[in-house]
Amino acid sequence: MSTDPLVIFTPSGKRGRFAKGTPVLTAARQLGVDLDSVCGGRGICSKCQVAPSYGEFPKHGVTVREGALSEWNSVEQRYDDIRGLPKGRRLGCQATVQGDIVVDVPPESQVHRQVVRKAASLRQIVMDPATKLYFVHVTEPDMHEPSGDLERLAVALKDEWGIEDIHAPLPVLAKLQKALRKGNWEVTVAVHRGSLDTRHRIVDVFPGFHEARIFGLAIDLGSTTIAAHLCDLRTGEVAASAGVMNPQIRFGEDLMSRVSYAMMNPGGEVEMTASVRAAIDDLTDQIATEAGIEADQILEAVFVCNPVMHHLLLGVDPVELGQAPFALATSDAMELQARDLDLTRMNDAAQVFVLPCIAGHVGADAAAVALSEEPGKSEDLVLIVDVGTNAELLLGNTTRVLACSSPTGPAFEGAQISSGQRAAPGAIERVEIDPETKEPRFRIIGNEHWSTDEGFGHPRITGICGSGIIEAVAEMRMAGILDDKGLIGSAEQTGTPRCVATGRTHAYVLYDGARFGGPLITVTQGDIRAIQLAKSALYAGARLLMDEMGVDRVDRITLAGAFGAHISPKHAMVLGMIPDAPLDRVRSAGNAAGTGARIALCSVTARRDIARIVRQITKVETAVAPKFQEHFVNANAIPHATDKFTELAQIVTLPDVSFNTGGGGSMGEDGRRRRRARAK
């Protein structure tokens, strides 16, 4: 067995063993990791910056000790002296492998940077913002009636606008006197009205009559991506949207891996909190630049996030969320100042509102979806599925609303897939397979043409993302390349040489880039299994909610989330990700959590409403539900072992094939017939 050090790259998950002294850049190139370099490894361009991580990594089965990389060298020091390297970063061309190491490739070091597809959807929102501008005339100071400038400003706000209970933080006090005198005792004041109390906080003050725009951020803090919408607090208009990868991925791709990291590494939660807050600061700068405004014009931020991210944003140890009874430090909505969270790029006195969580594994993001989609106001029974690394599901109507979470893992986002990657230019995102010839065609992000079109050309194809792998697996099932148990047939069984042997199993060749210097992209038996596990968890969660509601069908389905917005409803149903329903009753809501965040940003009433609504939602705990395992096992079949997909059968005929060469055939009521019909 090799004793060479193990090198693991995140977020790709690619790993391999390399001899001591191997440069990290060389290891990345040999594994096909997306790590940039322009200068050819001479330590000039700094494109190959990486962030090594140290400590216990149970998910990866390694312990990374100090000295796992070579010492800081003179080339890195020279670059740091001239241009500066962020703390904790190394140059991949200079740092060499000395022991087992986990290396994160930050977004700016990736050639094919992720497309964070969480754009703001169009939505009419009744404007009732917490932060508004007020123009007032303040009485000048008088030797005979001594009072402070703030106190006289408070009197003016009460007399002219009826605003009472005024408070001002130090950053406002520091500029108040100059603003009053420069404006000749007339100022425009940005006042924030409390959502959870009656206090009014002065956020900023401007000399004279001030008409400049003021803004707020609606931030969807996900486990994989952080998406933000910059909104005009007067009109609700979205001025810009931007997103970045969550840097916590290097501590673990799924939430429980991050909880485990905090458990195994003293101070790990502090490290994760610092990384995500720094990313939010960077995102604030990015979105302000994109909109052409100054960052201090951002006076407010609203956050929605799952429970683990909620705790790590607030600086709370998430360990209790990793074990029953999954207790939250608090489930209530919170109002804070940005500086309480060490967020320094927006206005010094900016206010923060964090939506309430529903329960231990159903967070503020699910509450935001409930605010956006309003299942409690639906006359028919609607299932809302927010698809992500951890899926949240809501089922309800005017009678009752239920919620649960389901640990789908990162497979739907391209992780744990042999040729998988996150959504970026060059990733296969759409797939079709001819059922007769078994030949595929596909589309990639960044190219509107199908691969069979004359105008497709041969841009660099880099891998397959989540929506692409879902369509590929579903198309393989519809084309008879895959049986209902998830087994890929051989070339002889399927009638196509694209099915190639890989040991005792088979893989389907989706793209062979040998002629064009590109990668070999296959769908392997391991890929199928990863998708089966993810979709089974999702479906089992939906079935538990349906059991609790006492129904075996839903009237309509809403797919939410950035990923859900790019899923084909037909392929999702063929795969068995979602329950059977008429396809015209399955729709995408886009980033519903982000929309809920924007609603809360623009409306104090909505904030108060959601604080009430979450208390009326019934949480179903999948971790202890007796029937979860039964539903999970039955959902392993494609689309399902026992549930009848009658609506799907009206538009798709799934081939009756079985590739179980062990003689067991497919299981079920028609098992004997299927064994006789086994493909030859």
Q: What is the pLDDT of residue 93?
A: 92
pLDDT of 151 higher than 50: yes
> Hey, what are 421's tokens?
């990657």
Beta bridge partners of 402: 395, 618
Q: What is the pLDDT of residue 680?
A: 34
Residue indicated by tokens 């497309």: 115
pLDDT of 425 higher than 80: yes
pLDDT average, residue stretch 333-342 = 94
pLDDT average, residue stretch 650-657 = 94
Residue indicated by tokens 């009874």: 325
Residues 6+ apart with CB under 8 A from 560: 369, 373, 384, 385, 386, 387, 588, 589, 590, 591, 592, 593
pLDDT average, residue stretch 257-270 = 90
Share of the chain above pLDDT 70, in %: 92
pLDDT of 551 higher than 70: yes
The three-point CA angle 68-71-73 to 5° equals 145
pLDDT of 609 higher than 80: yes
Fold for the domain defined by 215-366 = Nucleotidyltransferase; domain 5 (3.30.420)
The rounded distance, in Å, linking the Cα atoms of 91 and 94 is 5
Pairing of strands 225-232, 238-245: antiparallel
Instruction: Check: pTM over 0.85? Answer yes or no.
Output: no
Is the peptide bond preceding residue 639 cis, with omega within 30 degrees of 0?
A: yes
pLDDT average, residue stretch 248-259 = 84
pLDDT average, residue stretch 537-547 = 95
Average pLDDT over all residues of the chain:
88
Residue 432's pLDDT band, with cuts at 50, 70 and 90, is: very high
Pairing of strands 298-305, 351-354: parallel
Q: What is the pLDDT of residue 408?
A: 79
Q: Which CB contacts under 8 angstroms, 24+ apart, belong to 41-48?
A: 41/93, 42/93, 43/75, 43/76, 43/78, 43/79, 43/91, 43/93, 43/94, 44/79, 46/79, 46/83, 46/85, 46/91, 47/109, 48/24, 48/91, 48/92, 48/93, 48/109
Residue 662's pLDDT band, with cuts at 50, 70 and 90, is: low
Lowest mean pLDDT among 123-127, 200-204, 301-305, 492-496: 123-127
pLDDT average, residue stretch 130-157 = 90
Residue 414's pLDDT band, with cuts at 50, 70 and 90, is: low
Residue 489's pLDDT band, with cuts at 50, 70 and 90, is: very high
Phi-psi region of 279 (alpha: psi -120 to 50; beta: other; left: phi over 0): alpha
Residue 224's pLDDT band, with cuts at 50, 70 and 90, is: confident
Beta bridge partners of 392: 386, 405
Q: What is the pLDDT of residue 155?
A: 94
Lowest mean pLDDT among 28-37, 380-389, 632-641: 28-37
Task: For residue 436, count CB atoms less than 10 angstroms from its CB and return exposed for 0-12, middle for 13-18, buried for 19 or more.
Answer: exposed
Most confident of 127-131, 489-493, 657-661: 489-493
Query: Phi and psi at residue 214, in whole multiples of 5°?
Result: -120, 150
Largest Cα–Cα separation, the chain: 104
Is pLDDT larger for residue 632 or for residue 61?
632
Residue indicated by tokens 């400590």: 55
pLDDT average, residue stretch 322-339 = 89
pLDDT of 392 higher than 80: yes
pLDDT average, residue stretch 544-558 = 95
Q: What is the pLDDT of residue 679?
A: 38
Is the peptide bond preceding residue 325 cis, with omega within 30 degrees of 0?
A: yes
pLDDT of 435 higher than 60: yes
pLDDT of 458 higher than 70: no
Is pLDDT larger for residue 532 or for residue 466?
532
> For residues 480 and 655, is the Cβ–Cβ distance under 8 A?
yes
Q: What is the pLDDT of residue 179?
A: 95
Pairing of strands 6-10, 101-104: parallel
Domain with CATH 3.10.20.880 in the chain: 131-207
Is pLDDT larger for residue 203 or for residue 1?
203
pLDDT of 198 higher than 50: yes
pLDDT of 570 higher than 50: yes
Residue 667's pLDDT band, with cuts at 50, 70 and 90, is: very low
pLDDT of 27 higher than 90: yes
Write the CA distances from 620 to 254, 361, 395, integer angstroms: 21, 10, 11
The rounded distance, in Å, linking the Cα atoms of 389 and 247 is 15
Give the three-class secondary structure for 92: coil
Residues 6+ apart with CB under 8 A from 197: 335
pLDDT of 674 higher than 50: no
Q: What is the pLDDT of residue 55?
A: 92
> For residues 53 and 64, is the Cβ–Cβ distance under 8 A?
yes
Pairing of strands 401-406, 618-619: parallel
CB atoms within 10 A of CB 79: 18
pLDDT average, residue stretch 373-387 = 93
What 8-state DSSP symbol labels residue 345?
S
Secondary-structure breakdown of the chain: helix, strand, coil percentages, each rounded to the nearest 5: 30, 25, 45
Summarize pLDDT for 47-92 with one digit per residue, the tens: 889 999 999 988 888 999 999 999 999 988 988 888 788 889 999 9
**Which CATH homologous superfamily contains domain 6-109?**
Beta-grasp domain (3.10.20.30)
pLDDT average, residue stretch 534-544 = 94
- Radius of gyration for the chain, computed over Cα atoms and rounded to the nearest angstrom: 27
Q: What is the pLDDT of residue 626?
A: 85
Q: What is the pLDDT of residue 665?
A: 37
pLDDT of 663 higher than 60: no
> Given CA atoms 332, 333, 337, 343 in this order, what sign does their dihedral have?
positive
Task: For residue 338, count CB atoms less than 10 angstroms from its CB and return exposed for 0-12, middle for 13-18, buried for 19 or more.
Answer: buried
Domain with CATH 3.10.20.30 in the chain: 6-109
Q: What is the pLDDT of residue 421?
A: 82
Q: What is the pLDDT of residue 81?
A: 84
The CATH label, of 3.10.20.880, 3.40.50.1970, 2.70.70.10, 3.40.1350.10, for the domain at 131-207 is 3.10.20.880
Q: What is the pLDDT of residue 120?
A: 55
Residue 669's pLDDT band, with cuts at 50, 70 and 90, is: very low
What 8-state DSSP symbol labels residue 97?
B
The rounded distance, in Å, linking the Cα atoms of 325 and 328 is 9
Q: What is the pLDDT of residue 222?
A: 87
pLDDT average, residue stretch 394-402 = 96
Q: What is the pLDDT of residue 661?
A: 66
pLDDT average, residue stretch 115-126 = 57
Task: For residue 282, count CB atoms less than 10 angstroms from its CB and return exposed for 0-12, middle for 13-18, buried for 19 or more.
Answer: middle
The rounded distance, in Å, linking the Cα atoms of 156 and 191 is 13
Q: What is the pLDDT of residue 375?
A: 94
Nearest C-alpha neighbor of 580 from the set 485, 654, 644, 484? 644
pLDDT average, residue stretch 413-435 = 85
Residues 6+ apart with CB under 8 A from 414: 420, 421, 422, 423, 427, 463, 464, 465, 466, 468, 469
Q: What is the pLDDT of residue 91?
A: 94
Give the containing element (helix H, strand E) for 591: none
